[in-house]
Amino acid sequence: MINIILPDNSVRQYPEGITGMEIAKSISEGLAHNVLSVLVNDEVWDATRPIRTDAKIRLLTWNDEEGKGTFWHSSAHLMAEAIELLYPGAKFGIGPHIENGFYYDIDFGDKAISSEDFPKIEAKMQELAKENQVFVRKEVPKAEALDYFTKKNDEYKIELLQDLEDGQITFYESGHFTDLCRGPHLPDTSAIKAVKLLNTAGAYWRGDETRHQLTRIYGVTFPKQKELTDYLALLEEAKKRDHRKIGKEMELFTFSQKVGLGLPLWLPKGALLRERLEMFLKKVQKKAGYQQVICPHIGNVELYKTSGHFQKYGESSFHPITTPVPGEEFFLKPMNCPHHCEIYSYKPRSYKDLPVRIAEFGTVYRYEQSGELHGLTRVRGFTQDDAHIFCTPEQVKDEFKGVIDIVMLIFKALDFKDFVTQISFRDKNNKEKYIGTDENWEKAEKDILEVAQERNLNYVIAPGEAAFYGPKMDFMVKDALGRKWQLGTIQVDYNLPDRFELEYIGSDNQKHRPVMIHRAPFGSMERFVAVLIEHTAGQFPLWLTPDQAIILPISEKYSNYAEKVLQFLNNSDIRAQIDNRNEKAGKKIRDAELAKIPFMLVVGEREETDGTVSVRKHGQGDLGPQKLEDFARFITGEVAKELGEIN
């Protein structure tokens, strides 16, 4: 008999070789009907895979992210089976699940596949799903696996096999299809009821632009048709909120082929929006004791060799910059932290000086492949709201609290209400891949967990997900469409202080290593603005929006009064502009609505005589006439409410 620990920490005994599905049936037939896979000692397994030792388990359903992952991974196999039947000779690369659905990279030979082929593939997938095909896991010797794919003439699977050893290789069979795969998979295909293929893209084999380009087909499946219908409606709404579309309409940013792919150009309104975000955070940081610094955009290659970033980002960085001096090379900086380590070390430090909090809006550069670039969310040059705290081990807990407080202020000011905190700890069964002492790790992990509890955060613990240099906390935010984004990270680092030999003199008059904390509440300004645009559909909070009001004279005759209104608003720190075009008022109002300007101030003869403006609110319509002083007080009051304690 083996001991099985359930999520409520109760222990049940079962025969050795019991499966997750059989455990589910022993609890309830209804539960068993919904089980897709099982978490066994923090690893996702097939629900039909035998468990032969004592284990802690969690039965996974569609309501679990891991359950959805299993569902979509099996759907990728189902799509591959349908394609192999419809297009004999197709060769398959990799086919993982992703956050919302799955994809498979496929070599169709001379056949060009487009969305016009999707209905045929979808129909075949649904036909195969109705056969209730069972997914069968088989451990296969390497020689046998190579023989199978050699006979199949699939060079992609053969290459993947070269990196594996005997004992690591498993096949999954379902219906007519056999794939090299580590799993896990559904018990069978019967749960897959609704199918939709979404789009195709080019994908270089193994991400190497010098290799063959495969066709990547994206798809999504659901256990109910209604869920697919709702998801497709969500995709349509997402298209309307696409930051690239809204950014163009609102004239926030643009890209230029001449400047280079992945290098955004911030237009005046976008620059103003970004500047306000930076000013907002600088104000918060100043109150929290941060010191602002500025570092160059390049550094000597030796700096990044010392930090380890040359080894880590060398392949994804721009080529080193050579100078006339033999052997001298510079690097476009991929991270800000090495420079900040040098700032910390420019003079001796005492324990009385700590914590030292260094902040910078620092631009960094990574050479992302052209196929991976996407608007502002994936670029080659981006600015991080980077800060590094150098502190004693005893100060880690309080510094974490301070950073969390800053993140909470940001989320409140920008109306991000739905978020989960992921706390990543080291794998205690594999400590050799981490640096730092057990004592420091255990203290840091204990401190972070206590802070999460004291701040009443909704958190999950991710064992084994810590960086090699220390535990971390990530904030996973849901936007208005329910999509998850990582916004904000706090990381403890025992590595860089060692690499840079950072020191402080302790109260014992001895030298000690400081602990380094990395934090970036926004992450990168580019990605944060993209998420914010899509979350708000361009309707930014009043304190942040580039134009808070637009003045609409009903004819040229009232342009002078419009200028007086503009001057008054500017003097009241209200951002406004005038639409002086020779257009009818209705046209100007429609254009202002499309530009998502919060308030429209119509001025004509009556307004000029009374010293008022006729106020319209975006999305709501006419609010009636107001004195300029009253409108200014109203705007100032609304901004104060939004920013709350930050003012």
- Which residues form the catalytic set? 337, 366, 384, 386, 388, 472, 518
User: Would you state the torsion angle of the CA atoms of residues 86, 90, 91, 92, taken in this order, to the nearest 10 degrees?
Assistant: -30
Write the CA distances from 138 to 35, 167, 171, integer angstroms. Answer: 21, 11, 5
The whole-angstrom separation of Cα 49 and Cα 18 is 8
8 A C-beta contact, residue 255 and residue 264: yes
DSSP calls for 9-67: S-EEEE-TTEEHHHHHHHH-HHHHHH--EEEETTEEEETTSEE-S-EEEEEE-TTSHHH
> Token digits for 500?
């840079």
Other CB atoms within 10 Å distance of the CB of residue 238: 14
Apex 45 CA angle, 40 and 47, nearest 5: 100
The whole-angstrom separation of Cα 184 and Cα 74 is 8
8 A C-beta contact, residue 486 and residue 475: yes
Q: Is 579 left (phi over 0), alpha (psi -120 to 50) or beta?
A: beta
The whole-angstrom separation of Cα 175 and Cα 188 is 10
> Token digits for 361?
């809006």
> Token digits for 464?
């084994």
Give the orientation angle of helix 559-571 with respect to helix 628-643, to 10 degrees: 40
What is the residue whose two structure tokens read 């799955």? 102
What's the chain's length in residues?
647
Say how many CA atoms lie within 13 Å of 338 toward its Cβ.
Answer: 22
Spatial neighbors of 83 by CB under 8 A, at least 6 apart, are 90, 104, 106, 121, 217
Largest CA distance in the chain: 92
- DSSP H helical segments within 455-502, as ranges? 495-499
Strands (E), 114-228: 136-139, 170-174, 177-180, 194-204, 213-222
> Token digits for 168?
């690591």
The whole-angstrom separation of Cα 572 and Cα 628 is 10
Distance of CA 500 to the CA centre of its chain: 30
> Token digits for 469?
């240099």
3-state secondary structure of 469: coil
The whole-angstrom separation of Cα 163 and Cα 144 is 15
> Token digits for 396?
């880690």
8 A C-beta contact, residue 21 and residue 48: yes
